Amino acid sequence: MISNLKQLVEYRELLRTLVSKDIRSRYKGSVLGFAWNFAIPLLQLLVFWVLMGIIIKVAPPGDYPFAVFLFTGLLPWNFLANSLNGGAMSVVGNANLVKKIYFPLQVLPLTSVLSQFVSLLLGMIVLFAVVIGFGVGVGPSLLLLPVPFLVQFIFILGLAYFFACGEVFYRDIEHILGIIVMAWMYLTPILYPVGRVADKARWADIGIHLNPMTGITTAYQSIILDHVQPDWFWLGYSSVVAVVFFVGGFALFNRYKFRFEEEV
């Protein structure tokens, strides 16, 4: 475990290059190029704003348009969905590297997650512009933002290792993953405020929070929109789950990585 982690540090140069390749190649050849990183979240927001604010008119849980609430939860969710997709394909999709060149393979899922993390940060710039634009403003609570970032990052990375390894042996994963992510999104308070479920009953409160993404998503919402501290208890729970998944996924990946070359 430790030596496998150390290798990640040793190969940081490769990691840096691969992440930058990933980010730059994503919109290479398109007219907007790098600007797509901002255009996509902006357009997404626009769609929600029209849908939720004008057509359906959903009441927001606070002093801001519902679209902004939704967007706050959706950006981190996109990070999860894209990272899991990219992570799952990271070994299989780089078959020629895996087969022919020696380097620590644990670099690959990390590359996918890091490059999506950069997208998340870029999306956050758009989010803050919107938050300020709608008069929500900023507060000292934003200093806590790195906490959900970190927890979510570790959690997703663990899952990415798990799926990347699984995908090598069972190609079914790439197909089922989209469905899992979609169902999981509805179980996470992104489209609705957590209170709408949690306030109903004690068991509902616990139930929805057993999903580790609940604690993370509500932390983003509290910090960015409500300028209050996150629910430390459930964020703590999410952190524990994140670390467990990371350790498990990373160990699994490293245990089987020497067979990847034969299977991809």
Partner 1 sequence: MDKDAALPAVTIKDVVKQYRVRHEKGRTLKELFLRQRIFEEKINALDHVSFDVTPGQTLGIIGANGSGKSTMLKLIAGTSRPTSGSVEVNGRVSALLELGAGFHPDFTGRENIYLDGAIMGLSREVVDERFDEIVAFAGMEEFVDAPAKTYSSGMFLRLAFSVAVNVDPDIILIDEVFAVGDESFQRKCLDRMDRFKGEGKTIMFVSHSLDSIRSFCDEALWLDKGEIKAQGAVDKVIDYYLWHVNEQEEERLSSFKGEDRDENRWGTGRAEITEVRLCGADGEQKHIFETGDKFRIRIAYSDREHAEDPVIGMSIHRHDGVHIFGVNTLEEGPAPAFLKGEGEVWFEVDRLPLLPGSYQVSVSLHNGDASENYDYHNRRFEFRVVEGPDVEVGLMHLDHQWSGWQPGEEKLDKEDIGAGGKGTGRLEAGEAGEAGDEA
Is position 21 an interface residue for partner 1 (rule: CB under 8 A)? yes
Is position 255 an interface residue for partner 1 (rule: CB under 8 A)? no
Is position 252 an interface residue for partner 1 (rule: CB under 8 A)? no
In the shown chain, the binding pattern of residues 145 to 184 toward partner 1, with x for contact by CB under 8 A and - for none, equals: ------------------------xxxx------------
Shortest Å, Cβ 40 to partner 1: 19
Q: What is the CA radius of gyration of the chain?
A: 19
The tokens describing 31, both together, are 């007219």
Is position 232 an interface residue for partner 1 (rule: CB under 8 A)? no
For tokens 């626009």, the residue is 46
Is position 196 an interface residue for partner 1 (rule: CB under 8 A)? no
Is position 16 an interface residue for partner 1 (rule: CB under 8 A)? yes
Among 5, 17, 200, 210, binds partner 1 (CB under 8 A): 17
Is position 233 an interface residue for partner 1 (rule: CB under 8 A)? no
Distances (CA, A) of 22 to 34, 52, 68: 12, 33, 29
The tokens describing 76, both together, are 């981190």
Residue type, 108: L
- Which helix (H) or strand (E) segment holds residue 95: the answer is helix 95-100
Other beta carbons within 10 Å of 12 = 11
Shortest Å, Cβ 264 to partner 1: 11
Distance CA 182, CA 157 (A): 19
- Choice between 24 and 196, CB closer to partner 1: 24
Is position 14 an interface residue for partner 1 (rule: CB under 8 A)? yes
- Choice between 15 and 68, CB closer to partner 1: 15
CB-neighbour burial class of residue 112 (10 A; exposed 0-12, middle 13-18, buried 19+): buried
Other beta carbons within 10 Å of 160 = 30
Distant-in-sequence, close-in-space partners of 20: CB < 8 Å, separation ≥ 6: none
In the shown chain, the binding pattern of residues 84 to 113 toward partner 1, with x for contact by CB under 8 A and - for none, equals: ------------xxxxxxxx----------
- Choice between 17 and 229, CB closer to partner 1: 17
Among 140, 143, 203, 258, binds partner 1 (CB under 8 A): 258
Is position 3 an interface residue for partner 1 (rule: CB under 8 A)? no
Residue type, 72: T
- Choice between 33 and 146, CB closer to partner 1: 33
Binding residues for partner 1 restricted to 28-47, rule: CB under 8 A:
28-29
Shortest Å, Cβ 66 to partner 1: 39
For tokens 């140069």, the residue is 13
Instruction: Give me the half-sphere count of Cα atoms (radius 13 Å) on the Cβ side of residue 90.
Output: 33
Distance CA 191, CA 69 (A): 8
Residues that bind partner 1 (CB under 8 A): 11, 13-14, 16-18, 21, 24-25, 28-29, 96-103, 169-172, 258, 261-262
